Amino acid sequence: MSLQIIVPESRFPTGLPDFAADESGPFPGISPLQTYAKRLATEHHTVAAGAELGSFLGSEKRLFIVLDGWLFKHTILEDGRRQILDFLLPGDLITGLADTGHGLAQSIEAVTNASIAVIPMSAVSELSREVPSLAVLLLESAQDTLNTAYENLVDTGRRTSLEAVAHLLIRLEGRAIASLGADEKGAVPFPLIQEHIGDAIGLTAVHVCRTLRKLKTAGVIEMGRGWLRITDRQQLSDIAGLDDADTCGYRTPVHRMAS
Amino acid sequence: MSLQIIVPESRFPTGLPDFAADESGPFPGISPLQTYAKRLATEHHTVAAGAELGSFLGSEKRLFIVLDGWLFKHTILEDGRRQILDFLLPGDLITGLADTGHGLAQSIEAVTNASIAVIPMSAVSELSREVPSLAVLLLESAQDTLNTAYENLVDTGRRTSLEAVAHLLIRLEGRAIASLGADEKGAVPFPLIQEHIGDAIGLTAVHVCRTLRKLKTAGVIEMGRGWLRITDRQQLSDIAGLDDADTCGYRTPVHRMAS
DNA sequence: CGACTACTTGATGAATTTCAAGCCATGTGG
DNA sequence: CCACATGGCTTGAAATTCATCAAGTAGTCG
């Protein structure tokens, strides 16, 4: 996860069922970066679904913000095995990908058509004089990203496939709600396919299929092309092994906490 | 991983079980934080092997530096399953553990007897006026920590047990050399037991045992109580699936890159 | 319509866990 | 110094989870 900087009045990413969060969603907390994003951005890029964000990520002196669409950070091994490291939703920041000196250790691919804004680091440090809390926001964003990675690690290493899938769905749904909102029936946009889920928690698409089936036939979730609805949140939490107290999956975005 | 703040001149640490950084080692690359560490530190703590660093981690306004000993960050599920998220060696920073509001989501335990220095965040931000690059160093430290988490995730999710163990050993050995040095025979301090390795990459101790045995009988590594020696680095890299170019496991510490 | 992609399901096999027992080094108290 | 307890390592056998292979379905798009 990354800092929820922007909460765009974005409609559902291209191509997928309507789903609009079109009503200019009421977004309570606007972060500094959001406020200045348009002013700071030097470039905007659009990326087609399935395309890689290669070339212009290289330079380390930039900061990227997802404006629209879903993407994911991943590593691919030589024989094609893929590990998804994080998903990126509108409002998320993309920072410092590791550069091993001979190419990036990780890369980013778009799930749906997506658009991202590029902010030069110079503009950020300039702005941070004006808005001192900016550095703190960036650090907290990095912290959120790290915590998400840790959650993924626990899912992948020490949870059963059922627990892991349930936990991942809870977390992604929370982020989708926060970023894009839900429709009147409680469904959220969810453009991931089973292979994405598997690659995020170390399972094959086939096994994800069987696991999702259990959740569906248990009446815990409903999924369709491009959307997800959690019909029995309590049971899903139980399956995921979360404490009751643990709303989890969705920490209040930084910009809301601050205000 | 965390920022390698200290890069002690390598001597093999004192009698393995009890690692003491006794001689005021000459440290080739001195980072700002290291330079000021003693001045800034308000408290020092010692932790017995096996003990948790619970109580004084809670407050978020502190920064911790490992002075001596090995520790690890981990999450424990209700039924006792444990996932190790990162190992901490001398010189590593401990920053921002996630606080879910009802206790920490992660905690830290000492593998060996250990000592850590506590630096109040106020001192850090004060110092960062004096040493402007400090904030950058902290961010880069956070980046290293994230990259380590990602490596662990790939190992756990998408590598076979043999690949994962090999890769983890390469990375840990690199950090051990950087932090503690190797002895004349090329052995590095390695206090982890098989259960630690398993909990880091999602295997049982039994399976780690079998996997290590393959590496040992292949003549690739040697291990004893408290030490590790990589006898065939090339083959180990091959097994781990690393590119030749990829020295991996040990990125040049931040403070050396800068200068 | 045909090609394509994602999903689905069954059958089989491999990787890993679990359970169980024994081993070996270390440390401790009598 | 021995007897004994302990913790970590080792090994085997059985059970389980998950991957792989294969085939078929359904929806989408040109």
Per-residue model confidence as pLDDT tens digits over A102-128: 566 889 999 999 999 988 888 887 877
Among B24-28, B103-107, B251-255, name the most confident range.
B103-107
Lowest mean pLDDT among A1-5, A29-33, A108-112: A1-5
Backbone angle region of B240, left / alpha / beta, with phi > 0 → left and psi within -120 to 50 → alpha: alpha
Q: Pick A241's closest partner by Cβ from B77, B106, B199.
A: B77
pLDDT of the residue at A42: 86
Lowest mean pLDDT among A101-105, B38-42, B184-188: A101-105
d(CA B213, nearest CA chain A) in Å: 22
Classify the C-alpha dihedral B38-B40-B42-B44 as positive or negative.
Answer: negative
What is the predicted pLDDT for the residue at A208? 98
- The DSSP string of A11-74 is -S-TTS-----TTT-------HHHHHHHHH--EEEEE-TT-B--GGG-STTEEEEEEES-EEEE
Mean pLDDT of the A173-188 span: 94
Nearest CB to B153 within list A100, A149, A241: A149
Provide the pLDDT for residue B40.
80
Both tokens of residue A258?
């601050």
The predicted structure's pLDDT at residue B19: 30
Distance of CA B158 to the CA centre of its chain: 22
**Residue A6 vs residues A42, A67, A190, A254: alpha-carbon distances, Å:** 17, 7, 19, 11
Residue A93 tokens read as 């920041």
**Dist. CA B181–CA B149, nearest whole Å:** 23
| pLDDT above 70: percentage of residues in chain A | 73
Q: By percentage, how much of chain B surpasses pLDDT 90?
A: 54
* pLDDT digits 0-9 by tens, A124-177: 878 777 776 777 778 888 889 999 999 999 999 999 999 999 999 999 999 999
Q: Are B102 and B117 in contact (CB under 8 A)?
A: no
Q: Read off the tokens for B109.
A: 């335990």
Kindly state whether B102 is in contact with chain A, defined as any CB-CB distance less than 8 angstroms.
Answer: yes
Residue among B85, B147, B153 whose CB faces A98 most closely: B147
Q: Find the radius of gyration of the CA atoms of chain A.
A: 18
pLDDT at A23 over 80: no
- pLDDT score for B5: 34
Q: Which chain B residue shows the shortest CA-CA distance from A153?
A: B153
Residues in chain A: 259
Yes or no, beta carbons of B147 and A101 under 8 Å apart? no
Question: Higher confidence at residue A125 or residue B108?
Answer: B108
Say what the pLDDT of residue B176 is: 96
User: Bigger pLDDT: B242 or A233?
Assistant: A233
3-class DSSP state of A131: coil
Q: What is the pLDDT of residue A26?
A: 33
Calculate what percentage of chain A has a pLDDT beyond 90.
54
Residues with CB under 7 A from strand D: A 15, 160-162, 198, 202-204, 206-207, 225; B 193-195, 205-206, 209-210, 212-213
Span CA (B66) to C1' (C1), Å: 68
Q: Using 50, 70 and 90 to split pLDDT, how confident is the model at A34?
A: low
Residue B80 in this model has a pLDDT that exceeds 90: yes
What pLDDT, on a 0 to 100 scale, did the predictor assign at position B127? 78
Residue with tokens 């990095």, as numbered in its chain? A142
Note whether B62 and B118 are within 8 A (CB). Answer: yes
Query: pTM value?
Result: 0.84
Q: Give me the pLDDT at residue B27, please.
A: 37
Which of the pair, B81 or B99, is modelled with greater confidence? Answer: B81
- CA of B91: how far to CAs of B24, B114, B177, B202, B212, in Å? 14, 12, 12, 26, 28
DSSP chain B: -----------PPSSGGG----S----SS--HHHHHHHHH--EEEEE-TT-B--GGG-STTEEEEEEES-EEEEEE-TTS-EEEEEEE-TT-EE----B-SSSBS-EEEESSSEEEEEEEHHHHHHHHHHSTHHHHHHHHHHHHHHHHHHHHHHHHHHS-HHHHHHHHHHHHHHHHHHHH---TTSEEEE---HHHHHHHHT--HHHHHHHHHHHHHTTSEEEETEEEEES-HHHHHHHHT--SS---S-PPPHHHHH-
* 8 Å CB contact between A21 and A11: yes
Strand D, nucleotides < 7 Å from a protein CB: these are 8-12, 17-22, 27-29
CA distance A193 to B168: 30
CB proximity A221–strand C (7 Å threshold): no
Q: Is the pLDDT of residue B9 over 80?
A: no
Summarize the confidence of residues B83-98 as an average pLDDT. 89
Degrees, nearest 5: CA angle B58-A248-B101: 25
Minimum mean pLDDT among A51-60, A217-226, B39-48, B100-109: which range?
A51-60
Of the two residues A13 and A96, the one the predictor is more confident about is A96
Residue A213 contacts B where some CB pair is shorter than 8 Å = no
Mean pLDDT, chain B, whole residue set? 80
In chain A, the residue whose alpha carbon lies closest to the alpha carbon of B100 is: A246
Token pair in block for residue B139: 């961010």
Higher-confidence residue of B121 and A1: namely B121
Label residues B223-250 b or e (16+ Cβ within 10 Å = b): beebbbbbbeeebbbebbbbeeebebbb
pLDDT of residue A99: 66
In this model, does residue B22 exceed pLDDT 60? no
- pLDDT at residue B119 above 90? no
pLDDT above 50 for A87: yes
pLDDT value at B132 more than 80: no
Q: What is the mean pLDDT of residues B14-39?
A: 43
Mean pLDDT (whole number) for A190-213 = 98
Q: How far is the CA of B212 from the C1' of C21 (A)?
A: 21
More confident: A251 or B41: B41
Q: Tell me which DSSP letter residue A108 carries.
A: E
- How far apart, in Å, do the first and last CA atoms of chain B sit? 21
Of A176-185, B14-23, B103-112, the one with minimum mean pLDDT is B14-23
| B82 neighbourhood in chain A, CB within 8 Å | 158
Query: Tell me, in Å, how far CA of A210 is from C1' of C10?
Result: 12
